[in-house]
Structure 1
């Protein structure tokens, strides 16, 4: 192979401008990613770069973030416990009239849920509407009558 020495050394010593620009861009991408506590994904980082005046393609941002292992946190899907009308709805006998003349005429109850690291706990007190005293209560690991 006939090649001049200068051609060989020119190719060997040539600086890769694209790689240098990618390194500079990756530093800015990491800064944006860390300032936002790792919540920003490719789309939001791309928009932030556009807002800062960088003219860069979203596919380039995606490739650089993927190569650097920068993955945005996904938000958890919210839990919805509503299942429609389940069970029997009690008749509204009291009709928002909580006044009584003597104790033990009207009682009310409700269920409160407490979340702990080991699970959930349910408290169901029975209250006298005249004296506001707790007549009885039930503490259980499930919100049913068992």
Structure 2
């Protein structure tokens, strides 16, 4: 929907918003709601960039080990009220990932290769 609103915004100097809305098969109010929310989107983007900087500092201080749960806990310890899902999204968008050390765990039991098969 954002692409349609951007197109209407770019072409509104040449054509009426009403006409463009009809051609694009969207409500005129959708475009005006998009225009009204532009400032809020910019503010959210700036807040996410500031949060990304804080996350990067915490992540580097942990020698790049901390993942989403520990970064979220550290932010809350510092007094920043933040949602885990937001931290997860910001980390994913900026390519920040925790260290996973527990991969490749094997069982201690070894299968007996000479044992008879189970009857079916």
Report the TM-score when normalising by structure 2.
0.54
Pairing 1:41–2:64 present? no
Match of 1:25 among 43, 51, 55: 51
Gaps of 5+ in 1: 3-9, 85-146
SS at match of 1:54: coil
Match of 1:53 among 69, 75, 79: 79
Number of equivalenced pairs: 78
Query: Higher relative CO (CA 8 A, sep ≥ 6), structure 1 or 2?
Result: 2
- Aligned equivalents of 2:67, 2:105: Cα separation in 1: 23
Pairing 1:66–2:84 present? no
**Any runs of at least 4 consecutive aligned residues in structure 1 with deviations exceeding 4 A, and if so which?**
77-84
Report deviation, 1:75.
Answer: 1.6
**For residues 14 and 82 of structure 1, do their structure 2 counterparts lie closer, same or farther at Cα, with a shift above 3 Å needed?**
closer
Gaps of 5+ in 2: 1-15, 18-34, 111-120
SS at match of 2:79: coil
Which has more radius of gyration? 1
More helix by share: 2
Report deviation, 1:79.
Answer: 6.4
